[in-house]
Structure 1
Amino acid sequence: MDHKTTAGLSQACYGFAIEGTYKDCVPYGNGHINDTYLLTYQQDDTDVPYILQHMNKTIFTDPEALMENIIGVTSFLKKKIAAAGGNPRRETLDFVFTSNGNPYFIDGFGEYWRAYHYIDQVYALDQVKKTEDFYQSALSFGRFQQMLADFPADTLHETIPNFHNTAVRFGAFEKAVAEDVCHRVASVREEIQFVKTRFDVACALCDLQSQGRLPLRVTHNDTKSNNVLIDEATGKGLCVIDLDTVMPGLSVNDFGDSIRFGASTAAEDETDLSKVSCSMELYEAYVRGFLEGCDGRLTDDEIAALPLGAKVMTYECGMRFLTDYLSGDTYFKIHRPEHNLDRARTQFKLVADMESKWSQMQAIVQNYIHK
């Protein structure tokens, strides 16, 4: 950690209106984008934990707009949760404000930090091992859709423009191939061809939206199963986390991102592609849980497009990993030289597997469309 980051962290530890005495701050978690710490304050002889995050301004260029989105959505969710007899402190993120009333702290170097209450006695799913866990993840993200169905999506900032506009992502991919700044194109021609021959996939959801068949909704846009906290005591989905990419979007994108991450039989960066496939057992469990959580708030067109959402999001994510690899690994954090390439290859293997199971994926959704 360089001097600037160390000094900024030291300032941020005291930057929020937290009662008690500062005790400790240590690195926490394994997120790709932001730097996360477990911050502890002593309050009445009790250690109280908080999550402290350094917000990545390279990715999120307008952190104030981002936090306006998050506070708007979490405040709305708190009211819904309380009205349903739930616990707003545990069932959505509860942010700590500064003494000036801001949900972020700006250190002496112009870097942005935020803090929220730590939720204890929970676990997250880095890889789905039980069907019931994946069902609970689906139920949680479905409820997220259901609770926010009457939130005016068009009032949210688009903090990353065209985030899930796959056609625009395709253009960025083509640019990375043409520029070849790291001289990597020659070694990944097979992967490049895989992307190029599926341009119709890149346009599919945008076309449906432009036809008015897919409505604009508040979407999470990063619905990996590890962004749901599961209650240790009950095994039930408790809280949706990592709200940086909450923006206006399509419900089928949220569904699809969950499938490409959680229904895979292997880790996102698995190097042995023979282990990678889309589990139809997990896929069906997610369809069931997501639609149950949505509780009738999706249209028939949205439900019918769920398999397409899974394929498009898997294709898009693989394309993004490959684009980042070609561009010099500037977006996603990597832990080995070809990490992003490995990630891209797993996504492309999943797309191919989905294509081989397409009729089955559609049939599963049709079984639930009027339930």
Structure 2
Amino acid sequence: MNTLFPIANQFATAITRINRLGNGLINDTYLVATQSSFFVLQRINRTVFPAPEKIMVNLTALNQHIAQKVSASVRLQIPEILKTADNDVLYLDENRDCWRALSFIVNTESIDAIGAVSDAEQVGYALGHFHRLISDLNPLILHDTLPGFHIAPEYLKHYQHVLQRSIKPIRYCAEFITRFRHIADDLEAAKQQGLLSLRVIHGDPKLNNFLFDRHSKKIVSIIDLDTVKPGLVHYDIGDCVRSCCYSAEPVGFDLDICAALLKSYLAEVGSFFTEHDYHYLYPAIRLIPFELGVRFYTDYLEGNRYFKVTEPEQNLQRAIDQFLLCECIMRQESAIKNMIVRLKQ
């Protein structure tokens, strides 16, 4: 960690301690302590985000938009951007690595699994509140920081290209993808037909990107905003439901957690949700684990280039788990659709 002190000193003085923070699969994140406070230091993965400056433009626009809201109507804290001594939002080190610093939301914690229905209610509320706060932010003023992100048909095309030169295809994964490849275009086709509108999305609202107050157990912040960009809110909803309703050993999908999350979410977004938005909730919930499974499996076939792994077969197991989750969701299609109808009323 000593090598990080000169980098952290670009953003603050009197650094006393630096520790790794979180378990993200993309960026390297550290908690920096100074004599008076804490802040978050991140090395942006330029393989994934080749244009870090576009991320920071988006974050600035997001923060400015929310800052214009009546303060009493804003229930989420968005991390502030900290600048270097030279008044820059990014720092490029001697290795050409790109670093940025954000404020640290104190007295909070993230969780990796839903412990109670109240946790799911909080997550649904927080995601819905975030979407409502930015529902009047023009998506066209934001950069697309990850072109192709969440565009399932493109992931499928890339997988097929990789598969042609692969020497180790796994039968279960290959057969699952072939059998259900038709669902990959569900949301993109609806967008192209004008049934779903382009909006500003978080892009990666998995469970551990919500910060709970340690005392009240209410969510006070949403983090990991590098993927904020124009998109379909259904990608956010599907990914959030996927991460919250997943249960392991054996893999399953928790309907009660899903109901609690969607109820709180829909209570926040009802003012701008359309009939088509409601109709495509189930396709979104079904699609995201399929999409993520394709991405994990493709990365495994390519030698684990994108997602961090601690062992060679980790991305393969991740892919299998997502496909099993997708199967669980499809077995409960009627129950999920009926739930959405009830929540809409």
Q: TM-score, normalised by structure 1?
A: 0.89
Unaligned residue ranges in structure 1 (runs of 5+): 267-271
Q: Which residue in 2 is equivalent to 1:248?
A: 230
Number of the residue aligned with 2:140: 154
Contact 1:300 1:369 survives alignment (8 Å):
no
Q: Is the 8 A contact 2:74 2:133 kept in 1?
A: no
Contact 1:134 1:225 in 2 (8 A): no
User: Does the 8 Å CA contact 1:304/1:369 hold for their aligned counterparts?
Assistant: no
State whether structure 2 residue 15 is matched by structure 1 residue 15: no
Corresponding residue number in structure 1 for 2:38 = 49
Confirm or deny that 1:95 pairs with 2:81: yes
DSSP-derived class of the 1:137 partner: helix
Paired residue for 2:284, among 309, 317, 328?
Answer: 309
- Which amino acid counterpart does residue 169 of structure 1 have in structure 2? Y
1:1-371 equivalences under 5 Å are 7=3, 9-16=4-11, 18=12, 20-43=13-36, 48-80=37-69, 82=71, 84=73, 91-180=77-166, 183-185=167-169, 188-266=170-248, 272=249, 275-370=250-345
Instruction: Give the aligned partner of residue 269 of structure 1.
Output: none
Q: CA deviation at 1:79?
A: 3.0
Runs of 4+ in 1 over 4 A off after TM superposition: none
The percentage of counterpart residues that share the same residue type is 29
Q: Aligned with 1:91: secondary structure?
A: coil
Residue aligned with 1:297, SS: coil
Aligned residues: 345
Give the whole-Å Cα distance in 2 for the aligned partners of 1:129 and 1:173.
Answer: 35
Aligned mates of 1:318, 1:198 — CA distance in 2 = 12
User: How large is the RMSD of aligned CA atoms in angstroms?
Assistant: 1.6
Check conservation: 1:52, 1:116, Cα contact below 8 A: yes
Equivalent pair of 2:5/2:15 in contact (CA under 8 Å): no
Aligned letter for 1:145?
A: H
Q: How many Å separate the matches in 2 of 1:75 and 1:359?
A: 42
Q: Partners of 1:303 and 1:237 in 2: how far apart? A: 25
In structure 2, how many angstroms separate the alpha carbons of the residues matched to 1:168 and 1:192? Answer: 17
- Which amino acid is the alignment partner of residue 207 of structure 1? A
- Secondary structure, counterpart of 2:208 in structure 1: helix
- Structure 1 214/11 Cα, relative in aligned 2: closer, same or farther at 3 Å? same
Q: How far off its partner does 1:233 sit?
A: 2.0
Using the alignment, how far apart are the partners of 2:339 and 2:108 within structure 1? Answer: 31
Shift of 1:290: 1.1
For the Cα contact (< 8 Å) 1:156–1:247, is it kept in 2?
yes
For each residue in 1:334-371, what CA deviation from the matched residue of structure 2 results, as whole angstroms up to 9, or x when unmatched? 1222111111111111111111110111111111224x
SS of 1:76 mapped into structure 2? helix
Give 1:199 deviation, angstroms: 1.7
8 Å CA contact 1:92–1:239 kept in 2: the answer is yes
In structure 2, relative to structure 1, the CA distance for the partners of 1:85 and 1:126 (3 Å cut) is closer
